[in-house]
Amino acid sequence: MKCKDLISIADLLPSDIEEIFTVTRELKEWHAKGYDEKCLNGKILGMIFEKSSMRTRVSFEVAMVQLGGHAIYLTQGDINLGKREAVKDGARVLSRYVDGIVIRTFGQETIQELARYATVPVINALSDYLHPCQALTDMYTIKEKFGTYTNVKIAYIGDGNNVARSLAQICAKLGIHFYVASPKGYELSSEFLAKAKQMAEGYDVIHLSHDPKEVAKNAQVLYTDTWVSMGQEAEKAVRQQAFRDFQINNDIVKLAKNDVKVMHCLPAHRGEEITDDVLDGPNSIVYDQAENRLHVEKALLKLLLRK
């Protein structure tokens, strides 16, 4: 992995992604055999969380412990980055104390500024715009289940949000066709699609639709996310109305391949974007997907913090 930070999938080469997947597989296999490589012995990770999260916090903290290091959890109340202290000052000071920084925040520009001034690696653990750790986990899980991601039809039904953007980016980087069905007004933007096309070396691999049934046909992966992300609570009623026909349920699953895998980055709102019977059903790989956040993050920490 050549880059100092993980800010966006756009910064990675396809070979970087494959390297992350190779290290992930090794670390996961070793952990299953009862062995964890203590490659980060004595290293300390600073974790800035302006948005709360169960999966992201626990998976990164466990990842550091399993690799021999430690993590320090910093809430917005602890650090108040960009308000009590300038982002660049926080970046410079934290770089004197810790060996890497994970940040989960609202603005992508905050992460970019933090990385610009930090002398230690910075990992984007979610912004309102991108979610690269989730996309790497999702594609690793798809490869794990199918043995490959080549020619796997991935259909995303829902909001053109941070998860959808990072999935689109990783598909563009790897030359995978990505089918997205969103309500009008909630699609991936034309500006974003133009940049994704550049990542795909000029090929159109991102396909938009307003019809969830159309994208679900013969899909091997069905993916969805919440209709109302953190910070959008005031839009809840409007969004629920707009997305009411974009639920993954058994009627949608029947349109896909018989062995379709159903994915969700969690937390799920059962009965809204996905039904109980699908989330708990035989096609769901949601909890394998959630577990893989740990293994992928261990690979990222190993590759970035050992430099």
Q: Looking at the annotation, which residues are catalytic?
A: 104, 131, 134, 225, 265, 293
The gap from C-alpha 196 to its chain's centroid, in whole angstroms, comes to: 16
**Can you tell me the distance from the alpha carbon of 127 to that of 104, in angstroms, rounded to the nearest whole number?**
6
DSSP string, 192-225: HHHHHHHHTTT---EEEES-HHHHHTT-SEEEE-
Q: Side chain identity at 159, as an amino acid letter?
A: D
Residue 100: what are its φ and ψ, rounded to 5°?
-170, 155
Short-list 122, 85, 82, 129, CA closest to 103: 122
Short-list 84, 129, 134, 92, CA closest to 114: 92
Q: Side chain identity at 263, as an amino acid letter?
A: M
Beta strands 44-49 and 261-264, pairing class: unpaired
**Residue pair 228/236 in contact by the 8 Å Cβ criterion:** yes
Q: Which residues contact 26 (CB under 8 A, 6 or more apart)?
A: none
**Can you tell me the distance from the alpha carbon of 140 to that of 280, in angstroms, rounded to the nearest whole number?**
21
